[in-house]
Structure 1
Amino acid sequence: MTELPDMCCKGEAARLFPVLSENSKEGRTLSIFLACLENVSPFGRALLGGLGVKVGARGRIDTFTEVEFKKSPGDKNNRPDGLIIVKTGKNVWTALVEAKVGNANLTNDQIESYLTLAKANNIDAVITLSNQFTPLPTHHPLSISAQLTRKVDLFHWSWGHVITQAQLLRDQEEVEDREQLILLNELQRFLLHSSSGVKEFDQLSPAWSDLCSAVAAGSRIGVRDPKCQEVVGGWHQALDRMTSMLSRQIGEHVKVAMAAGETHDPVKRLKGALADLSGASCLKSDINIPDAAAKVQISADLQKRVLTFQMRLRAPGDRQSTKARLRWLLNQLGDADPNELHIRLAWPGSSPATQYTLAALREDPTLASSDRPEMAPHAFDVLLVRELGARFAQPRNFVTELLNAATHFYNNVAFYLVAWQARPGKIAGEKREPASVSTEGLRDQVEQEALQRTG
């Protein structure tokens, strides 16, 4: 039987089959999750490894629910939902857990009080779980004072992230133990059922419609407008939901690409998105798909009400004409549905790019070189351009269209494209075999060259 640590005065070991009241949906869901985290070794290693906590082959994970602590500053009824203890040799790592399900969101007051509780009891971290999406465990949905996280780390797992990790472990056959695999399957099945209180992000806030209307009326977007920050937060959650969905569909971990410094600084990421929104009425992001020919660039233009997915490929350098280079690309897209797909050609120097529909170029590839017969493009952009009209401004429909477009673009473009790579040079016929040269011969050759230089 697992014993409670000395810092605790009360608590229960996390149960796979918790005996709780019907109203305790939150406690039931967390207990089942923590029990699987403890008993499905690859699952625990994957999730905790994402926090930088290594659980070796001899490491042990213990989990508890409804834990009360001997030291409870402030509110004596301060009781987090769970506790995780990782023991690896002599090293011990601990974390408080706070979980929300359904429409319940995390609050600053509660999380700040748990950070204070963790510090008082020498606990290393606080982990939150909710239906709020974040791209990385180090990015938190709440803005918390840096003073509270100096000695206690703060992490966040969305329930969608938990489901995705379970799916990837199954798809990649990382769970070899039969009983553990059954537990993981049942956990995923449970979390995907409505009774668990877990739900995927499916709509933006009403601020999205308000901002779209303001842009249509010609209003300027201010970076300090609370609605703008709310819209950017929703956009990031929608992207995280999209990458989770693609990860499950593909069986590989699709990630949001971030600029230098954004991984450890979510505020920097927020400021970058706000600058794009205020400057060009546009939201942008890139995602990385394992083994794809290039990153996928995504943009939502609030002024045009257009959603765009695109990939850029360097034109093949071993083909000289526009026709030959374009044929190389068109051959890769031979099975793609041309609906909504466009090809943009990037030309050398200051020549502006030109763009045509995939259908038009299939019918007549010479269109691409008709006005520039002496030039050849150095790169191609393959774009999915989806004009949404009124659906763009509708919070739920926009997320639906984003998810549908992501799947469509992957199936019709990203899956087929292969980046061009130069081949190594050939060995000339007369150089296929190295000449047999003696040491004496080399010495004579050097002496002759020296005499020529001095004579």
Structure 2
Amino acid sequence: MGELPTFLSSGERARLFPVLADTSREGRATSIFLACLANVREFADELLSSVGRGIGITSKVSAYTEICFNNSTGKIKFRPDGLIVVETGRSNWSALIESKIGNAELSRDQIESYLKLARENGINAVITISNQHATSSADHPVKIDGKLLGKAALYHWSWMDILTTADLLLTNGRVQDREQKIMLNEFRRFLSHDSTGVKGFDRMPAEWPKLIADLGTGAQITAQSEILTSVVRAWHLELRDLSLILSRQIGVPVSVKLSKQEARHPEERLKNDCTAFCNSHCLSALLMIPEAAVDIEITVDVRSRTLAAGAKLLAPKDRKSTSARLNWLLRQISEVPAQDAYVRVHWPYRGYTQYPLSELRQTLERVTTEHPDSTPMALEVLTVKRTERRFTQVSNFVEDIERLVPNFYGSVGSKLKAWQPPAPGIRPERNESADVSTEGISEDAEEAVAEFSDPPEDEPSKKKFWF
């Protein structure tokens, strides 16, 4: 069993089958999770890497519940739900675990108490787990006094983060040991059952219908508006949840495309998107899917109350006419239902024009006569939905987004193929009978110099370059 860490007076190894009261859903879920973390190496490595502590081949992961500490200053009001210890050679890393399940939310006082406890006992981090969502493990859903984040770091996993991690590991066959694979699969089954109390992001904040109403009446919305800030923050959480949903459906990790600055600083991203909304009255994002031809663009136009999912491809350069380039795209989406589907034709220096897919399938004449002196530089296919009253409803809006985007990717995004230039062939003058040795190439160069130096008699002499 091994010894307890020196700073603990008591504690139990996390059990896969904990003996707890029927009412202790939280304690049961935490113990089962920690037992899997300690016994399935790939699972531990994936999750702990998200908090900056990947494990090596020689690392040992231990997990405890019902922990009590030897020493602490002052009276302990709260007790953590668990402890993770990673031993690698002579170095140790540890993290306190605090978890909530169902509708229970994390408490600021409780978290700050654990940060102080961690600091007093040389523990490296506090990790919270709940159904509250965050854009990353470092973006905590509860705002904490920054002075407490010195020696002990604070991280957060949603239960959906944990479930998705387990699902992807199993889907992609990354767990090697048979017994560990069975254990992780049972944990996945346990977490995905309704009775466990795990749920995804399922509603926008109360400010959502208020923002829509204000825009409808022509109210001035500023980037510093508390209503807008609340909505954009919720939009980021919905994007994270949507990424997890798609990850589980496709079997690869889907993520939101962010700049390095925005990925490191969520508040910078929040500020940028609030400013962008004030300019466009739209919420938007790009989802990156490994091996997909293009990113999936999501746009929520609050003023027109429409939802859109789209994908844009560069037009094939080996097709010279507008009709040839459009037919290249139409062949790829020949089985896509025409209802709510549109194609945007992007022109050089002229923006884009948009057409119903049903119209393009019948005739391309309108497009080819639009700009007869130009050819499209990019082609975009999208699905646009107007959801009427559901758009303003905090739960139905989320449901509609989480239905639209996976359906679009399945029917359109996954079918698209990016244009690639053909492989270069052998130049006619350099065929198999040509002399391509250095001497042969030198002779070709000398002949070219002579040709350039002696222009035809009917052509005026041009300025020569002397080497």
Class of the TM-score when normalised by the shorter of the 2 chains: over 0.9
Q: Secondary structure at the match of 2:104?
A: coil
Going from structure 1 to structure 2, the CA distance change for 1:426 and 1:35 (only over 3 Å counts) comes to same
Report how far residue 222 of structure 1 moved.
Answer: 3.2
Q: Secondary structure at the match of 1:307?
A: strand
Going from structure 1 to structure 2, the CA distance change for 1:436 and 1:141 (only over 3 Å counts) comes to closer
Going from structure 1 to structure 2, the CA distance change for 1:73 and 1:262 (only over 3 Å counts) comes to farther
Q: Secondary structure at the match of 1:46?
A: helix
Alignment RMSD = 2.3
- Structure 1 residue runs of 5 or longer lacking an equivalent are none
Going from structure 1 to structure 2, the CA distance change for 1:183 and 1:441 (only over 3 Å counts) comes to closer
Going from structure 1 to structure 2, the CA distance change for 1:392 and 1:442 (only over 3 Å counts) comes to closer
Report how far residue 164 of structure 1 moved.
Answer: 0.7
Q: 1:405 aligns to what? A: 404
Q: Secondary structure at the match of 2:310?
A: strand
Q: Distance in 1 between matches of 2:20 and 2:77?
A: 19
Q: Distance in 2 between matches of 1:333 and 1:136?
A: 35
Report how far residue 366 of structure 1 moved.
Answer: 2.4
Contact 1:105–1:130 under 8 Å retained in 2: yes
Going from structure 1 to structure 2, the CA distance change for 1:138 and 1:439 (only over 3 Å counts) comes to same
Q: Secondary structure at the match of 1:261?
A: helix
- Structure 2 residue runs of 5 or longer lacking an equivalent are 454-464
Report how far residue 97 of structure 1 moved.
Answer: 0.8
Q: 1:278 aligns to what? A: 278
Report how far residue 215 of structure 1 moved.
Answer: 1.8
Identity within the alignment, %: 41
After TM superposition, the runs of 4+ consecutive aligned structure 1 residues lying more than 6 A away are 438-443
Q: Given residue 4 of structure 2, which amino acid in structure 1 is its aligned partner?
A: L
Contact 1:343–1:381 under 8 Å retained in 2: yes
Say if 2:228 is the partner of 1:197: no
Q: 1:365 aligns to what? A: 364
Contact 1:132–1:237 under 8 Å retained in 2: no
Q: 2:83 aligns to what? A: 83
Contact 2:15–2:32 under 8 Å retained in 1: yes
Equivalent positions of 1:236-247 (< 5 A) are: 236-247=236-247
Q: How far does the alpha carbon of each residue in 1:54-89 deviate from its partner, in whole angstroms, 9 at most, with x for none?
A: 212221110011222223234423311111001122
Say if 2:63 is the partner of 1:63: yes
Contact 2:313–2:380 under 8 Å retained in 1: yes
Equivalent positions of 1:14-413 (< 5 A) are: 14-349=14-349, 351-413=350-412
Q: Secondary structure at the match of 2:62?
A: strand
What is the aligned length? 449
Contact 1:95–1:124 under 8 Å retained in 2: yes
Q: Given residue 402 of structure 2, which amino acid in structure 1 is its aligned partner?
A: L
Contact 1:63–1:82 under 8 Å retained in 2: yes
Contact 1:297–1:309 under 8 Å retained in 2: yes
Going from structure 1 to structure 2, the CA distance change for 1:74 and 1:205 (only over 3 Å counts) comes to farther
Contact 2:46–2:54 under 8 Å retained in 1: no
Of 370-379 and 144-153, the range deviating more from structure 2: 144-153
Query: What is the TM-score when the length of structure 2 is the normalising length?
Result: 0.91
Contact 2:20–2:28 under 8 Å retained in 1: yes
Q: Distance in 2 between matches of 1:354 and 1:115?
A: 55
Going from structure 1 to structure 2, the CA distance change for 1:107 and 1:424 (only over 3 Å counts) comes to same
Report how far residue 187 of structure 1 moved.
Answer: 0.6
Q: Distance in 1 between matches of 2:442 and 2:317?
A: 40
Of 136-145 and 30-39, the range deviating more from structure 2: 136-145
Of 66-75 and 298-307, the range deviating more from structure 2: 66-75
Q: 2:458 aligns to what? A: none
Q: Given residue 65 of structure 1, which amino acid in structure 2 is its aligned partner?
A: T
Report how far residue 354 of structure 1 moved.
Answer: 0.7
Q: Distance in 1 between matches of 2:58 and 2:5?
A: 20
Q: Secondary structure at the match of 2:48?
A: helix
Q: How far does the alpha carbon of each residue in 1:398-451 deviate from its partner, in whole angstroms, 9 at most, with x for none?
A: 0110010011110121111111122243212230245276879979x98xx99x
Q: Given residue 219 of structure 1, which amino acid in structure 2 is its aligned partner?
A: A
Contact 1:135–1:256 under 8 Å retained in 2: no
Q: How far does the alpha carbon of each residue in 1:132-172 deviate from its partner, in whole angstroms, 9 at most, with x for none?
A: 22232122112223332232221111111111111111110
